[in-house]
Amino acid sequence: MQFRKADNSDIPVIQQIAEKTWRPTYGHILTEEQTLYMLDLMYSSEVLQKQIGSTIDFYLAMNGQETLGYFSIELTEPNKMKLHKIYLDPDHKSKGTGSQIIEFIKKIALEAGVKHIELNVNKYNSAVHFYEKMGFIRAKEMVLDIGNGYVMDDYVMQLTLVPTR
């Protein structure tokens, strides 16, 4: 598996994977209306262009020419990194791809001198268990109003990194 930084030309593939993953991931948690609202809120071309052109780095996980998934990270403090998004094409879940992505993110973080990686995950998302398996802990709970009468009911999870020598 290879990783490469995404640019604006990759927005359509990011949107395709988001469309393909959100319903299987959140269908038992969110209404279809909230799913559509959040996809537009987070994945419109304008939003993605703004994020890609900011301090947020998007990466694609590739197997040759095939895109397996994507993730986005940001240094939010000198020693803290935020993992904003990580989604895999459902055809590539449970095959070690997610673990490889987390290991790659840890490598980037350690090279940047980061001590903690933080992420938000819906409390009812099965990914909570994946993150715990990867060493993340549930640091706190957060309910975030995202407008239109919707909220995100999340765990804030944190991974403390130990530099390797």
What's the pLDDT at 160? 96
The mean per-residue pLDDT over the stretch 39-66 comes to: 94
Closest to 5 in 3D by CA, of 94, 104, 91: 104
What's the pLDDT at 115? 95
pLDDT tens string 88-104:
988 777 678 999 999 99
Asked if CATH classification 3.30.450.20 holds for the domain at 2-160, the reply, yes or no, is no
What's the pLDDT at 94? 65
Q: Give the confidence band of 27 by pLDDT, cuts at 50, 70, 90.
A: confident
What's the pLDDT at 164? 65
DSSP-assigned letter for residue 56:
P
Residue 165 has pLDDT above 80, yes or no: no
Distance CA 14, CA 26 (A): 17
DSSP-assigned letter for residue 10:
G
What's the pLDDT at 57? 96
The mean per-residue pLDDT over the stretch 154-158 comes to: 97
Residue 35 has pLDDT above 80, yes or no: yes
Domain residue limits, the chain: 2-160
What's the pLDDT at 91? 77
State the average pLDDT for the chain. Answer: 93
- Report yes or no on whether pTM surpasses 0.75: yes
Strand bridging mode 66-77 / 57-63: antiparallel
The mean per-residue pLDDT over the stretch 64-85 comes to: 94
**The residue to which tokens 């020598």 are assigned:** 165
